[in-house]
């Protein structure tokens, strides 16, 4: 990720251009552990928080994003933009891709980053997306 990307992303001082919600509840099967699982989202949230300190991108651990079967799962969100849910992420493998994708999301007008500019993990891992709410809404529109 380029410094210029972080500078771009940090323009929105009070309202981050991207909030990364990180699910800390997902369980990953780990036969080598006493409980038989770990919760890798906890480590991913910590690693992202450390990496993005001072960047203007926000990292928010979340108790549960209700995807469950595709740890780690995250959601990229910002006011007025599409929200993207991405699963199958690994802190050890995909930290750079997540940081880069969050910067691209922050720099985008509406949250939609062109397909060819998305990292491989984001192309493969998409769980869902949700459009922003219309700015002016009346009943039944």
Q: Residues in the site for a copy of itself, rule: CB under 8 A?
A: 10, 13-16, 19, 21, 49, 52-60, 62, 64-67, 73, 75, 77-79, 83-85, 126-131, 133-134, 136-141
Pairwise CA distance, residues 97 & 38, whole Å: 22
Assigned token pair, 138: 């009346």
Our CB check for a copy of itself shows the closer of 19 and 104 to be: 19
Please report how close the Cβ of residue 29 comes to a copy of itself at its closest, in angstroms: 20
Collapsing DSSP to helix, strand or coil, 7 comes out as helix
Our CB check for a copy of itself shows the closer of 13 and 120 to be: 13
- Hey, which residues does 58 pair with through a beta bridge? 19
73, 41 contact by CB (below 8 A): yes
Our CB check for a copy of itself shows the closer of 100 and 122 to be: 122
Our CB check for a copy of itself shows the closer of 34 and 141 to be: 141
Output the CA–CA distances (angstroms, integers) from residue 58 to 20, 62, 135, in the order listed. Answer: 6, 13, 23
Output the CA–CA distances (angstroms, integers) from residue 43 to 48, 67, 116, in the order listed. Answer: 9, 18, 29
Please report how close the Cβ of residue 113 comes to a copy of itself at its closest, in angstroms: 13
Question: 137: buried, middle or exposed (CB in 10 Å: 19+, 13-18, 0-12)?
Answer: exposed
Please report how close the Cβ of residue 53 comes to a copy of itself at its closest, in angstroms: 5
Please report how close the Cβ of residue 34 comes to a copy of itself at its closest, in angstroms: 29
Please report how close the Cβ of residue 32 comes to a copy of itself at its closest, in angstroms: 29
Our CB check for a copy of itself shows the closer of 34 and 136 to be: 136
């Amino acid at each position: 990720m380029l410094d210029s990307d972080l500078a771009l992303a940090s323009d929105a001082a009070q309202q981050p251009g991207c909030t990364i919600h990180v699910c800390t509840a997902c369980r990953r099967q780990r036969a080598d552990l006493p409980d038989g699982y770990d919760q890798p989202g906890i480590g991913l949230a910590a690693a992202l928080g450390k990496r993005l300190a001072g960047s203007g991108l926000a990292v928010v651990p979340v108790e549960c994003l209700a995807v469950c079967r595709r740890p780690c799962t995250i959601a990229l969100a910002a006011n007025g933009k599409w929200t993207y849910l991405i699963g199958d992420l690994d802190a050890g493998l995909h930290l750079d891709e997540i940081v880069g994708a969050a910067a691209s999301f922050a720099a985008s007008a509406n949250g939609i980053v062109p397909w060819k500019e998305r990292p491989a993990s984001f192309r493969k891992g998409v769980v869902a997306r949700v459009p922003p709410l219309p700015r002016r809404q009346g009943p039944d529109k």
